[in-house]
A and B are shown apart, each in its own frame.
Chain A
Amino acid sequence: MFSFCTDPQSLDGLPWLACYLTTGKHMAFYASFGTVLILLAITAPVALAFGFLGATAARARFRPLAWLGKGYIAIVRGVPDIAFFLFFVIALDQAFEWIRHKIKCPDWDQPIRQGNDFVVCPAAKLPLSTSPQIWHEIYGFFLAVLTFAIVYGAFSANVLYGAMRAVPKAQLETAEAYGMTPRQTFWRILVPQMWIYALPGLSNLWMILIKATPLLFLLGVEDIVYWARELGAAKQARFSDYPHGDWRMWYFLALLIFYLAFTKLSEVVLARVTARLSHGQATLGGTGRSAAP
Chain B
Amino acid sequence: MSCWETIADYGLRSIGIGERLLPRSDFTLCQQFTLIGSGLIWNIYFGTFALLFGFFLATALAVGKAAKSPFIRKPSEWFIFVFRGSPLFIQFFFAYFLFLSLKSVSPVFDPFTAAWLGALIVLFLNTAAYSGEIFHGALMSVPKGEVEAADAFGMSGFTKFRRVIWPTMLRLAWPAYTNEAIFLFHATTLVFFSGFPAWQQRGDALYYASYFADKTFNPFVPYPILAGYFILLTLAIIGVFGLVNRRLNRHLPDAQKGRMKFRPNVIR
Contacts and interface: CB of A to CB of B under 8 A. Distances in A.
A86 B223 contact: yes
A74 B89 CA distance: 25
B27 interface: no
Contacts of A77: 182, 234
Given A86-B219, A87-B224, A263-B85, A208 B263 contact: no
A288 B137 CA distance: 15
Contact of B264 (A116, A198, A248): A198
Interface residues of A, number: 51
Contacts of B265: 158-159, 162, 201
Nearest to A85: B223
A211 B87 CA distance: 5
Interface stretch (B12-20, B148-156, B168-176): B168-176
Nearest to A257: B86
Given A204-B266, A205-B267, A80 B186 contact: yes
Interface in B212-268: 213, 217-220, 223-224, 226-227, 230-231, 233-235, 262-268
B231 A292 contact: no
A51 B114 CA distance: 39
A280 B235 CA distance: 38
Contact of A293 (B81, B137, B233): B137
Interface in B92-135: 93-94, 97, 134
B209 interface: yes
B85 A259 contact: yes
How many interface residues does chain B have, given as a range? 35 or more
A213 to B, nearest CB: 8
B264 A200 contact: yes
A159 B85 contact: no
Contacts, number: 140
B79 to A, nearest CB: 13
Nearest to B177: A293
Interface string A186-213: 0000000000011011001101100111
B264 A166 contact: yes
B206 interface: yes
**Taking each of B89, B93, B264, which has the highest tally of chain A beta carbons within 10 Å of its own beta carbon?**
B264
Interface of B: 81-82, 84-90, 93-94, 97, 134, 136-141, 172-173, 175-176, 182-183, 186-187, 189-190, 193, 206, 209-210, 213, 217-220, 223-224, 226-227, 230-231, 233-235, 262-268
A79 B266 contact: no
A100 to B, nearest CB: 20
Given A87-B220, A225-B89, A293-B134, A79 B230 contact: yes
23 contacts: A77-B182, A78-B182, A78-B227, A82-B190, A82-B193, A83-B209, A86-B223, A91-B220, A159-B266, A166-B264, A200-B266, A204-B267, A207-B84, A207-B268, A225-B89, A248-B93, A252-B93, A256-B90, A259-B86, A259-B90, A260-B82, A292-B141, A293-B141
A25 interface: no
A78 B239 CA distance: 13
B230 A80 contact: yes
Interface string A151-179: 00001001100110110000000000000
B234 A293 contact: no
B218 to A, nearest CB: 7
Contacts of A204: 266-268
Nearest to A290: B140
B85 A201 contact: no
Nearest to B137: A292
A79 B81 CA distance: 26
A211 B187 CA distance: 12
B264 A86 contact: no
B141 to A, nearest CB: 4
A84 B189 CA distance: 12
* 5 closest residue pairs by CB, A with B: A292-B137, A263-B85, A78-B231, A80-B186, A78-B234
Contacts of B217: 116
A84 B186 contact: no
A255 B138 CA distance: 31
B86 A256 contact: yes
Nearest to A198: B264
Given A87-B219, A204-B267, A264 B85 contact: yes
Given A80-B230, A248-B93, A293-B137, 7 more contacts: A78-B230, A78-B234, A86-B213, A158-B267, A214-B87, A256-B86, A290-B140
Interface in A52-77: 74-75, 77
Interface string A223-252: 001000000000000000000000011001
Contact of B263 (A80, A155, A162, A214): A162
Contacts of B220: 87, 91
Nearest to A165: B262
Contacts of B97: 249
A271 interface: no
A206 to B, nearest CB: 10
